[in-house]
Amino acid sequence: MNIKLYNKISNKGLSRLDKSLYTCSEDVENPDGILVRSAKLHDIEFNKELKAIVRAGAGVNNIPIDRCSEAGIVVFNTPGANANAVKELVFAGMLLSARPVFDAMSWVETLNGDEDVATLVEKEKSKFVGNEIRGKKIGIIGLGAIGIKVANLALHFGMEVYGYDPYISIDAAWQLSRKVHYAKTLDELYEKCDYISIHVPLNGKTKNMINDDAIAKMKDNVCILNFARGGLVDEDAVCTALDEGRMKNYVCDFPNGNILHKKGVICIPHLGASTPESEDNCAIMAADQLSDFLENGNILNSINLPNLTLDRSGEARITCFHKNTPNMIAQISQTISGEGINIENLINKSKDEYAYTMVDVNSKSLDAVIAKLDAVDDILKVTQL
């Protein structure tokens, strides 16, 4: 099978893909699977053999999910695999805002060593006084893999923590410290907090969620930390608030021309997940999920289909990615049994508009049945494994 790499993927992950089964490179044609990090796939035309796209990371806004679903392509990500790296950089960003370390270091770099540096430093250092973060209030929007880690660590820094996430998962809620205050509304969080850190996905509902209205509700001198996606924040609103002295800093992992060189903006070149540890974690999860899907049809951590695994039985497996419409299971089983093939095991699960069925059968001669299933309305992709 051909696996196309749209970004550099750690060898720790790629080496888990059996070389006798997979060819992985940036140049393969007609891929069965794609491994990607941040490369934008919106303008890519997908070949008909493509079955899966795995995002080695969290955010999937670089992938055209709807188009993939309609083409029967399963999209995966690797939840939590890079969360620790992001959490640590969020605190680096917060401390860079609290203490003007960057300006202070730049000033030290201007010294030439001819003068009495030690005396000069003691004389001038008061220009670079900052604040401690202990005792300050931080609001965290989005309590998923990263938000939880940021919230719990902030408590260890002695901060008062407010969390907002109307869709928090049960697993996530178990991991969150009881000391985190539950913000019922965003307004409550905006009104109270000195630091606001955003950890939600970028989608139609969250785009520009930090806008003029939101900023108007925030405390003067607020610092916004955005290690999630640039599009979550209306940069014009941020620049106006900075110009008017209503915001202290905008710390952002997604620089662009609008905020470059802007006083009060601290830009980092999308380094949140750029540690070997997190790159390895993501690549390992991505490779394992991809191979289990391509070899067995099992699904773990998909965006457009539910988790579904089934131990292998019978002679072969048929998988169908289909629409979640009435009569699909009956049509699939009738088509198979109509060819005189016995079904050993069948499993089906749906997620929103789409569903997935795996059928273990007692025959390996499946060309005719695959062709018939392919022709069924609302079946988007059929594979034989």
Ligand X SMILES: NC(=O)C1=CN([C@@H]2O[C@H](COP(=O)(O)OP(=O)(O)OC[C@H]3O[C@@H](n4cnc5c(N)ncnc54)[C@H](O)[C@@H]3O)[C@@H](O)[C@H]2O)C=CC1
Ligand Y SMILES: O=C(O)CCC(=O)C(=O)O
Contact 212, 240 (CB under 8 A): yes
Residue whose Cβ sits closest to ligand X:
144
Phi then psi for residue 149, to 5 deg, are -65, -40
Span near ligand X by CB under 6 A; candidates 25-33, 98-106, 193-201, 345-353: 193-201
Half-sphere exposure of 20 (CA within 13 A, CB side): 0
Measured from the CB of residue 203, what is the shortest distance to ligand X in angstroms? 7
Query: Which one-letter DSSP state was computed for residue 16?
Result: T
Binding residue for ligand X (CB under 6 A) from 9, 54, 83, 247? 83
SS3 label, residue 36: strand
Binding residue for ligand Y (CB under 6 A) from 31, 59, 142, 144? 59
Q: 82 or 357: whose CB is closer to ligand Y?
A: 82
Burial class of residue 263 (count of CB atoms within 10 Å of its CB; 0-12, 13-18, 19+): exposed
Q: 154 or 228: whose CB is closer to ligand Y?
A: 228
Based on the shown chain and the rule CB under 6 A, indicate whether residue 147 belongs to the binding site for ligand Y: no
Based on the shown chain and the rule CB under 6 A, indicate whether residue 139 belongs to the binding site for ligand X: no
Separation CA 60–CA 63 (nearest Å): 6
Binding residue for ligand Y (CB under 6 A) from 37, 87, 136, 317? 37
Based on the shown chain and the rule CB under 6 A, indicate whether residue 87 belongs to the binding site for ligand X: no
> Which alpha helices (DSSP H) does the chain contain, by range?
11-14, 65-70, 83-98, 101-110, 117-124, 145-156, 170-175, 186-192, 212-217, 235-243, 276-296, 328-338, 367-374
Based on the shown chain and the rule CB under 6 A, indicate whether residue 58 belongs to the binding site for ligand Y: yes
Number of residues that bind ligand X (CB under 6 A): 33
Separation CA 15–CA 326 (nearest Å): 42
> How many other CB atoms sit within 10 Å of the CB of residue 45?
5
Q: Which of residues 224-283 bind ligand Y (CB under 6 A)?
A: 272-274
Based on the shown chain and the rule CB under 6 A, indicate whether residue 384 belongs to the binding site for ligand Y: no
By rule CB under 6 A, what string of x and - marks binding of each residue 201-230 to ligand X?
Answer: xx--xx--------------------xxx-
Based on the shown chain and the rule CB under 6 A, indicate whether residue 335 belongs to the binding site for ligand Y: no
Q: Which of 3, 81, 12 is nearest to 36 (CA)?
A: 3
Separation CA 61–CA 239 (nearest Å): 24
Q: 228 or 233: whose CB is closer to ligand X?
A: 228
**Site of interaction with ligand X (CB under 6 A):** 57-59, 79, 82-83, 86, 141-147, 164-168, 172, 199-202, 205-206, 227-229, 253, 270, 272-273
**Site of interaction with ligand Y (CB under 6 A):** 37-38, 57-59, 82, 272-274
